Chain A
Amino acid sequence: MNKQMIIAGLKARPVRTTVSILAVALEVTLILVVVGLTAGISNETGKRTEGVGADILLQPPNSSLFLALSNTTMPVTIADKVRALPGIKSVSPVQTLVNSSAGLEIIYGIDPDTFNAISDGFIWHKGGLFKNANEVVVDDIYAKAKNVTVGDTVELVNHEFKVSGVVEHGKGARLFVSLKTAQDMTGQNGKASLFFVRLNDPDRVEAGIAGIKQLLQGYNVIPLKEYAKLMMSNSMPALDAFITTVVFVALCIGVLVIFLSMYTTITERTREIGILRSLGASKRFIVTLIFQESAAVCLFGVVIGIASSFVLAQGVQVVFPTLTVLITSHWIARASLFAILSGIIGSLYPSLKAAKQDPVEALAYE
């Protein structure tokens, strides 16, 4: 019977019901897409970095896990010292650049010989390696996103580069220039912002890390297999704060919309509440009825929100192929929970107000 009343109540005010459902859907979509985008980019960057094929990532002291955000560098000559350690197969210096003219793109300045030794070489789709300072290698996803191919010109960090080759994605960055070019562009001659280290025996990562740490005290030395995990938002205090803010804003939207919707519903239905009270409906009955109506709105909103998040995620990947939206079941559950929570909080006061109404006064309400 409650179900009938709830459905009838929602159908009686179709515009408000639709707007409320869409607001909850927006709340869920906002959470899933923003968190998904953040997690997707972090995760994809992490996996791409893992894809280099190294066993260890070596960075200067106080550097960021976000490779693009590290300003600190170290002398390339360190590579020789590390290479001399037992169990080390190869070391490749990389100077990172950030191109922010169209989004945020990391460019690897690489030494092709050592980088190939670490990564077992690029898989070439077209063209070949850069031969001079004005050439760049791009990955297939970048080429598709920017609609460029070998011979085309791209502008990166206020410099014009000619695309010399297109490679399979998954080797750290989407753009590669020579180490010398990157050093010149950053004014860090003879420096590198990170080293990729490959071991003779990949199962002896801990020993390798211990050796490097003994040699270079204070430096950041992490197993590359853990990099993607570390790049996930819950390991990043700044990202965590950002996501918390997004979730809070989304929750506020949900609470306010449900509150407004339920409050106006209660005001409009004062007489109906008086009728129910005159029939002997308890305060708990009224509160439950309003909570159930609010829950129904939230439920529809959650379903639409999840569906639209997946549609939006697909849309993002079509329009921006370099971006990844990672919608996990964990966050679907959390977003749904937040939506239901906003429904409960938003309908709490209206439901209590409704339940407290004097039946005689409520029946006299016009």
Chain B
Amino acid sequence: MKNLLETLELRKSYTAGKVQVEALRGVNLRIREGELVAIMGPSGCGKSTLMHILGAMTKPTSGQVVIDGHAIAGMNDNALTGIRREKIGFVFQKFNLLPTLTAHGNIQIARYIHGGRGDGQDQHLTEVLQLLMIEDKMGRKPSELSGGEQQRVAIARAVANKPAILLADEPTGSLDSKNSEIVLNMFRELNRRFKQTIILVTHNPELVAITDRLIEMRDGVIVTDNDPVSWDTESEMAIRRR
């Protein structure tokens, strides 16, 4: 299986008030295509910062990130936007659906931004909607949906364009236990049925049960990885050269 995502000596520091915070202190990570990975750790360990960098939402202070063959650390805003559009799907804790659009509109806007006309529905999306059991909710606005339904619409939106990587930041953080279980099972199904690469950032231990691999972070570094991908000198040098 090819490596879909690689980071090398990833560092990120920022200033909060007068304090310099080192959120990431040299993260080396490899994610294989089709993996379902959980990144866990206590609050402030740097997992959300890592996710923002992996999602091309923010740039690292130093180090390199390669997403599906594209080194993004030195990219400008336009290029990063292109990576987000083409390669990444996001699921957030607070769902982040556009409140003025229906569930259908929320999914179609993602397709439109991706370059489609935004008015069609292909086989992939039909299957996703079936899997997520929200086909009959498409005409509703977010305010007319339950939290679990909103999160399933957000998942459908995130995978509508078949992204290389689905990044989910605390996807069950705003859900009750019943809906959390439903949503987690759907991540599992998406991964199994569509071979979707998924990275879940969480501190929910229940979520770990459905993943293939658990990465734990503390103080801006990875402290454990139960299924690490080995680094050979040649590939490391290749990333460094980018």
Interface residues of A (CB under 8 A from B): 1-2, 4-5, 8-9, 11-12, 271-272, 274-283, 285, 358-360, 363
Contacts and interface: CB of A to CB of B under 8 A. Distances in A.
B77 interface: yes
B85 A8 contact: no
B55 A278 contact: yes
B78 A279 contact: no
B57 interface: yes
Contact of A278 (B90, B117, B118): B90
Contacts of A274: 96
In the complex, which of the residues B97, B101, B119 has the most CB atoms of chain A within 10 Å of its own CB atom?
B101
B101 A278 contact: no
B92 A1 contact: no
Q: Counting chain B CB atoms within 10 Å of each CB, which of A1, A272, A283, A285 scores highest?
A: A1
15 contacts: A5-B100, A8-B98, A8-B100, A9-B100, A276-B113, A278-B57, A278-B96, A279-B85, A279-B113, A279-B157, A281-B81, A282-B78, A282-B85, A285-B113, A363-B92
A209 to B, nearest CB: 68
B68 interface: no
B57 A5 contact: no
A13 to B, nearest CB: 9
Contacts of B109: 1, 4-5, 276, 279
B112 A280 contact: no
A8 B113 contact: no
Nearest to A11: B100
Nearest to A355: B77
A274 B84 CA distance: 12
B42 interface: no
B114 A280 contact: yes
A281 B100 CA distance: 17
Contacts of A363: 92, 96
A275 B101 CA distance: 13
Contacts of B191: none
A280 B82 contact: yes
Interface string B55-84: 101100000000000000000011001101
Interface centre among B78, B98, B105, B110 (most CB of A within 10 A): B98
Contacts of A360: 52, 57-58
Interface in B32-65: 52, 55, 57-58
B113 A275 contact: no
Contact of B84 (A4, A5, A272, A280): A280
A208 B117 CA distance: 71
A281 B98 contact: no
B84 A1 contact: no
- 7 cross-chain pairs, A with B, having the tightest CB-CB distances, nearest first: A280-B85, A1-B118, A1-B112, A8-B100, A280-B84, A12-B100, A275-B96
A12 B100 CA distance: 6
A132 B122 CA distance: 93
Given A1-B119, A276-B98, 13 more contacts: A1-B117, A1-B118, A5-B105, A5-B109, A12-B100, A272-B98, A272-B100, A275-B98, A278-B90, A279-B110, A280-B82, A280-B85, A359-B57
B201 to A, nearest CB: 14
B97 to A, nearest CB: 8
Contacts of B86: 280
A277 B101 CA distance: 16
Interface in B178-215: none
Nearest to B106: A275
Contact of B105 (A4, A280, A285): A4
Contacts of B82: 280, 282
A4 B81 CA distance: 23
B113 A280 contact: yes
Contacts of B118: 1
Contacts of B119: 1
A276 B99 CA distance: 12
B172 interface: no
Contacts of B108: 1, 4
A182 to B, nearest CB: 69
A161 B220 CA distance: 98
Given A1-B112, A4-B101, A360-B52, A277 B81 contact: yes
Instruction: Identify the interface centre among B84, B92, B97, B108: most chain A CB within 10 Å of its CB.
Output: B84
Contacts of A283: 77-78, 81
A363 B117 CA distance: 26
